[in-house]
Amino acid sequence: MDWGWILDHLDDLAFRTAQHLYLTAIALAIGLAISFALALLAVRRRSLYPPIAGLASIVFTIPSLALFAAFVSITGISVWTAEIPLILYTFVMYVRNIVAGFDSVPPEVREAADGMGYGRLARLWRIELPLAVPLIIAGIRVAAVSTIGLVTITGILGDRFGGLGFFIFEGIARGYFATEMLLGAVPSIVLALLVDRALVLLQRRLTPWAHPARPGSAPEPAAA
């Protein structure tokens, strides 16, 4: 391990980390928006769900190298060559979890909401969405972790891309220069784990009703 080399390249590290987050965030955001629309469609019309989910899983089985390579012939070497495959890969995780999130709303809650006079949109926004959040965040979590990994592979497209993966590709090109390879590998693993943890905490934050005070600590209920 050549620590001196690392110290010399700290600003590169910062740049590539920022690039990594940037590429990940775009894919997650656009992927979420599109998947949300697809999921709502699948919830309304159940028959659409199998084809949507099926298509998404087929896309997911395509090796990332292949998909990036394929898009090279379509969009050349541009940010979309990186982003479109990344977005496509998020679908399978997002759609399944968003649909499951809406499915997790108990039917009697929906019935009570209708009976009390909630309009369709109000019910979606006020009742169904908050209750779907835990599973939606689970979906974001899986998608985020997966996307962070895939961004490293975008380094195949050249040194304009790759995020932290750039160091891995460069390191190989320089004759398996271990220090550089590790400079890419270790931070990307750390990044993935940190984001995973952060989203778990976010999920707990957003669902206070799922983690109320334990029955032992609150006063015992008196009425039947």
Chain residues in the site for another protein (CB under 8 A):
61-66, 68-70, 72-73, 106, 108-119, 122, 127, 130-131, 145, 148-150, 152-153, 156, 164-165, 168-169, 171-172, 176, 178, 181-182, 184-186, 188-189, 192-193, 196, 207-210, 212-213, 215, 218-219, 221-224
129-153 helix and 10-44 helix, angle to the nearest 10 degrees: 140
Q: How far apart are CA 153 and CA 65, in angstroms?
A: 7
Write out the two tokens for 12. Answer: 């590169």
Residue with smaller CB distance to another protein, 78 or 149:
149
Residue with smaller CB distance to another protein, 33 or 178:
178
Output the smallest distance, CB 181 to another protein, in A: 4
129-153 helix and 64-75 helix, angle to the nearest 10 degrees: 80
- For 144-208, the three-class secondary structure string (H helix, E strand, C coil) is HHHHHHHHHHHHHHCCCCCCCHHHHHHHHHCCCCHHHHHHHHHHHHHHHHHHHHHHHHHHHHHCH
Q: How far apart are CA 196 and CA 140, in angstroms?
A: 9
Output the smallest distance, CB 173 to another protein, in A: 10
Output the smallest distance, CB 66 to another protein, in A: 4
Residue with smaller CB distance to another protein, 4 or 117:
117
Q: Compute the half-sphere exposure of residue 10: CA atoms within 13 Å on the CB side of its CA.
A: 4
Residue with smaller CB distance to another protein, 48 or 205:
205
Residue with smaller CB distance to another protein, 33 or 173:
173
Output the smallest distance, CB 48 to another protein, in A: 24
- Looking at residue 178, the DSSP 8-state letter turns out to be H
Write out the two tokens for 81. Answer: 């060559």
Output the smallest distance, CB 149 to another protein, in A: 3
Output the smallest distance, CB 115 to another protein, in A: 3
Residue with smaller CB distance to another protein, 7 or 121:
121
